[in-house]
Chains A and B, each alone.
Chain A
Amino acid sequence: MAEANIAIEQLVSKEPNSKTILFTVSGQLDESNIDDKAKEVYKVIDDNQGKLNFIFDFAGLDYMNSKSIGYLTDWYGKIKERNGQVVITRAKQNITDILQVVGLTQLIKIYESIDEAKQALAETQTAPVAPVAPAPAPAQTPASAPATPAPAPAVPATEQEPSKGEDTYKLNA
Chain B
Amino acid sequence: MLSNIFFIIILSTTIAAIPAAIWAYLFLKETSISKFHLIMLFIIGILTAPTLLGIQYLWQIYPTFNLGMLIETKIEQINIMYATLFILFGAMEEIIKHLAVRIIDKRTLAITTINNALRLSILAALGFSFAENIYYLYQLWGSLSVGEMTGVFIFRSGFTTCAHMIFSGIFGYYFGISKFAIDITKQQRVSGKTDLSTRIIAKLFATPIPHAHREKTILKGLLIAVLMHATYNFLLQFNVMIPVMLFVVLGYLFLRYLLNKKTGHLVLLTDVSVKKKSMLAKKDEDIIIELIGTWFEDKKYADVAYVCGRLLERDPDNNVVKLFKEKALDKIQDRNMYKKISNKISPEDKSIITKYL
A→B interface (CB under 8 Å): 64-67, 69-70, 73-74, 76-77, 80, 94, 97-98, 101-104, 106-107, 132, 138, 140-144, 162, 164-172
Contacts and interface: CB of A to CB of B under 8 A. Distances in A.
A14 B259 CA distance: 59
Contact of A65 (B278, B287, B332): B287
A63 to B, nearest CB: 9
Nearest to B348: A171
Given A74-B352, A107-B353, A143-B278, A167 B309 contact: yes
Given A101-B307, A171-B346, A66 B357 contact: no
B278 A171 contact: no
A73 B352 contact: yes
B317 to A, nearest CB: 14
Interface of B: 277-282, 284, 287-288, 290-291, 293-295, 301-303, 305-307, 309-311, 313-314, 329, 332, 346, 349, 351-357
A70 B314 CA distance: 21
Nearest to A104: B353
A74 B298 CA distance: 12
A97 B302 CA distance: 21
A171 B351 contact: yes
Contacts of B288: 66, 98, 101-102
A2 to B, nearest CB: 14
Contacts of A172: 346
Given A77-B352, A98-B284, A140-B279, A70 B306 contact: no
A103 B280 CA distance: 15
Given A69-B291, A104-B353, A168 B306 contact: yes
23 contacts: A64-B287, A73-B353, A76-B352, A76-B356, A77-B356, A101-B284, A101-B307, A101-B311, A102-B310, A102-B353, A107-B356, A138-B313, A143-B279, A167-B310, A168-B354, A169-B332, A170-B354, A171-B302, A171-B346, A171-B349, A171-B354, A171-B355, A172-B346
A145 B70 CA distance: 69
A140 B314 contact: yes
Most buried by B among A70, A74, A165: A70
B295 A70 contact: yes
Contacts of A138: 310, 313-314
Nearest to B353: A103
Nearest to B190: A66
Lowest 9 CB-CB distances: which A-B pairs, in order? Answer: A167-B309, A66-B291, A66-B290, A169-B302, A77-B352, A143-B281, A171-B346, A172-B346, A66-B287
Given A98-B288, A169-B305, A171-B349, A162 B357 contact: yes
Given A94-B281, A169-B332, A101 B314 contact: yes
Given A76-B356, A169-B354, A103 B306 contact: yes
Secondary structure at chain A's binding surface: helix, strand, loop or mixed? loop
Given A102-B307, A140-B279, A167-B310, A97 B351 contact: no
Nearest to A69: B291
B288 to A, nearest CB: 6
Nearest to B304: A169
A103 B356 CA distance: 11
Contact of B291 (A102, A107, A164): A102
Nearest to A162: B357
Contacts of B354: 168-171
Contacts of B293: 66
Given A103-B306, A171-B355, 15 more contacts: A65-B287, A67-B294, A70-B291, A73-B303, A73-B352, A101-B284, A101-B310, A102-B307, A138-B310, A140-B279, A143-B278, A143-B280, A143-B282, A169-B305, A171-B349
Contacts of A98: 284, 287-288
Contacts of A102: 288, 291, 307, 310, 353
B279 A167 contact: no
A84 B301 CA distance: 25
A65 B280 CA distance: 16
Nearest to A78: B352
